[in-house]
Amino acid sequence: MRRLSAPLVISLLVLLLPLVVMFALGTGTVNISIVDIWQAIIGLFSSGSSSSSSNFSSSSQIHTILFDIRLPRILLALCLGVILAISGAVMQGLFRNPLADPSLIGVSGGASVGASIVIVMAGGWIQSGSALGLSAVAAGAFAGGFIATILVYRLATSEIGTSVTTMLLAGIAIGAIAGALNSLLSYFADNDMLRQISLWQMGNLSTANWSRVAMVAVVAALLVGLFPRDSRALNALLLGESEARHLGIDVQRVKRRLIVLTALGIGTSVAMAGMIGFVGLVVPHAIRLLIGPDHRWLLPGSALAGAILLIIADSLARVVVAPTELPTGILTALLGAPFFVALLIQRRREI
Amino acid sequence: MALMAENISLHISGFNLLRDVSMRVEPGTVTAIVGPNGAGKSSLLKVLTGEMIATTGQVSLNHQPLHTWALEQKAKMLAVLPQHTVLNFPFTADEVVALGRIPHQTGILKDELIVADALKAVDANYLQKRFYTQMSGGEKQRVQLARVLAQIWEPTQLGDQFLVLDEPTSAFDLSHQKLTLEIVRGLAEQGTGVVMVLHDLNLAARCADNLVVFDSGTISAQGSPEEVLTEALISQVFGVKSIIAKHPVTQKPLVIT
């Protein structure tokens, strides 16, 4: 295992992100060249003065595709990638386990039950794919995720403090209950609901619009703003909780803060896009292998890499079976899992 | 000023782990705690460092109840080396030692110097850029020792400093056992108060100013090694017959079993 310089890797990721956004803007069922993208962007700032010689109707079509369809979706992928990867990095530090995943503490399971309940209960009026119906599903997912997290946290907290091991086990138990509830709901659901439930569980970014982007961006900004303040505390926590306390860290308060923020992040992401696996697990793990476990670098590195990975995965999801789309969650799993296996094999060889 | 336990008792789920224990660690001295397995030595250290709160009695650090110190201030005065530290993340040795600087705001450049000095002090400067996860048990323990040394590397205006070590030499070979005792004596000469649990009575006799013999949750004897280590006490506490001789060089008591 040889490490790369953390500032170097992060600068590269910072440079890569806009390039990936540009690439994603141009990719889709209609390919748009870089030149056209540039013209459209410049057109935005020259306040719509369409005096250019180019064909007006085609440039307004490009404008619609770029800024009403693709850009919100890309920004949604960017923000969700940030949320999933940075939450994953925090969870792995908090649980002192480099293979921990946000779904471990029950958030994802609870959220998917919440979504399924809304889909099955609401029955008819969601089928139309109306904005109201989708928002109801999102609210259900968020509520489910939050309830699951609170349950797991309560189960693991005694007067001595919150036991991370108990929390992992409680997360597994809650996850099992959530799985059973999901199966039960699927069993009673009709064909149409069943399709919606399974689409939800595959993870999908196709519901992107500007108001969703705004919501997710606020949560992403909150996590990116607050998590790094606890970087040193997370570093100390890797030694163990009592060691961290002896280094002057208020472990209980830090844990509570991190768990609430993670639940908020994961709950929001499941609410907006369903279950998108592997980003929260693979990204922080890979970044740690590259630049080491220091959270002061790991958190920003994971956030950037998570955004890049999810944008690429979603762009591929839009084009691989064009003119239809694949659910993004399938793509992240297909890209993420082999990468993870490769990491495991490489690590096994080197240790 | 001192690290002091006054009449502390600890009851947990029906067990009396500590019964009416009083001890005082003066700055500039070394206190060794010895006793059979399960006597409550680790519980005593936990109460002494604030990790557990005594059911009755009080622990004070520099004339102030331990739990009333702000955590960060406490960390500047009291460093604790646990018996085992599990660290599964590939930090390099200097990153681990740098964790000891978390309570301080002394800046990266100064911290780097302190980290390098602390690693040198435990004969581990060759480990600096090596991964913790790939080290031997003794190397890991030396790096952890360097970490707690870095935590109290410089005196603070808050008060006297104390170092608590739980079996610091358990993974060490002879030369590093000796090195650890030299480090501990050196710290005491600079005014730090050291408390450590040791299993080897002869090591304890050699370096402690104050020897505390602990048995079934209470102190059986405390004082200078010469006063405390008697054949009667060793057979009473450890159930082992022994002869107490004098170390030919240091003149300290030598327990032969």
- For residue range A252-262, what is the model confidence (pLDDT) as tens digits? 899 889 988 88
Burial of B96 (0-12, 13-18, 19+ CB in 10 A): buried
pLDDT at residue A313 greater than cutoff 50: yes
The nearest alpha carbon in chain A to B150 belongs to A247
Measured between CA atoms, how close is A109 to chain B, in angstroms? 27
With CB atoms and an 8 Å threshold, state whether B78 touches A246: yes
With CB atoms and an 8 Å threshold, state whether B102 touches A235: yes
pTM reported for the whole predicted model = 0.88
Q: Is A161 on the interface with B (CB under 8 A)?
A: no
Q: Is A199 on the interface with B (CB under 8 A)?
A: no
For B152-189, write each residue's pLDDT tens digit.
Answer: 999 999 999 999 999 998 888 999 999 999 999 999 99
- Window 118-177 of B: residues touching A by CB (8 A cutoff) are 131, 133-134, 151
Largest CA distance in chain B: 55
Dihedral through CA B102, CA B103, CA B105, CA B110, nearest 10? -60
For B12-35, write each residue's pLDDT tens digit.
Answer: 888 889 999 999 999 999 999 999
Identify the pLDDT of residue A128: 45
Tally Cβ neighbours within 10 Å of residue A106. 31
Residue numbers in B near A243 (CB within 8 A) = 80, 82, 85
Beta carbons of B183 and B131 less than 8 angstroms apart: no
pLDDT at residue A152 greater than cutoff 70: yes
pLDDT at residue A105 greater than cutoff 90: no
For A276-310, write each residue's pLDDT tens digit.
Answer: 888 898 899 889 989 999 999 999 999 999 999 99
For A153-197, write each residue's pLDDT tens digit.
Answer: 788 877 666 677 787 888 888 889 988 998 898 888 888 888 877
Identify the pLDDT of residue A162: 67
Query: What one-character-per-residue DSSP string does A286-313 give?
Result: HHHHHH-S-HHHHHHHHHHHHHHHHHHH
For B40-51, write each residue's pLDDT tens digit.
Answer: 898 999 999 999
Identify the pLDDT of residue A53: 46
| Mean pLDDT of chain A, nearest integer | 84
Identify the pLDDT of residue A347: 66
Q: Is B68 on the interface with A (CB under 8 A)?
A: no
pLDDT at residue A32 greater than cutoff 80: yes
Quote the CA–CA distance of A150 and A45 in Å, as a whole number.
Answer: 46
Q: How confident is the model at residue A212 (pLDDT cuts 50, 70, 90)?
A: confident
Which residues lie below 8 Å from residue A235, measured CB to CB, with a gap of 6+?
A93, A293, A294, A295, A296, B99, B102
Fold type of domain A6-350? ABC transporter involved in vitamin B12 uptake, BtuC (1.10.3470)
Tally Cβ neighbours within 10 Å of residue A45. 7
The ranges assigned to domains in chain B are 3-256
Q: Is A236 on the interface with B (CB under 8 A)?
A: yes
Q: Is B71 on the interface with A (CB under 8 A)?
A: yes
Residue numbers in B near A240 (CB within 8 A) = 82, 85-87
Right CATH number for B3-256 from 3.40.50.300, 3.40.1110.10, 2.40.128.720, 3.50.50.60?
Answer: 3.40.50.300
pLDDT at residue B86 greater than cutoff 90: no
Query: What one-character-per-residue DSSP string does A168-234 give?
Result: HHHHHHHHHHHHHHHHHHHHHS-HHHHHHHHHHHH---TT--HHHHHHHHHHHHHHHHHGGGGHHHH
Q: Which residue has the higher pLDDT, A338 or A157?
A: A338
The nearest alpha carbon in chain B to A98 belongs to B89
Q: Is A238 on the interface with B (CB under 8 A)?
A: yes
Residue numbers in B near A235 (CB within 8 A) = 99, 102
Measured between CA atoms, how close is B214 to chain A, in angstroms? 24
For B226-247, write each residue's pLDDT tens digit.
Answer: 999 999 999 999 999 999 998 8
A52-58: average pLDDT: 53
With CB atoms and an 8 Å threshold, state whether B99 touches A96: no
Residue A134, helix vs strand vs coil:
helix
- Asked whether the ipTM of the predicted complex exceeds the cut of 0.85, the reply is yes
